[in-house]
Amino acid sequence: MPKNIVIGSHVWVGDLELVWIDGQIVNVNGEEVEIQTSNGKTIS
């Protein structure tokens, strides 16, 4: 995993309905990342 992936990083996430949605990393556990998207979804 890239070293610049840290809690608080802003990212773009693929979404089936919207194609891309912005989000923020809220948790990093090894190679797993939890992202809170701007529409309220949590993605792991």
pLDDT for 15 equals 83
pLDDT score recorded for residue 33: 92
Q: What pLDDT score does 2 carry?
A: 58
Report the distance separating Cα 40 and Cα 30, nearest Å.
24
Q: What would the two tokens of residue 18 be? A: 């919207």
Between CA 8 and CA 6 the distance in angstroms is 6
pLDDT of residue 27: 94
pLDDT of residue 13: 92
**Is the full-model pTM beyond 0.85?**
no
Q: Taking the chain (44 residues) in consecutive chunks of 10 residues, what is each chunk's mean pLDDT? A: 79 88 93 92 90
* Per-domain residue ranges of the chain: 10-43
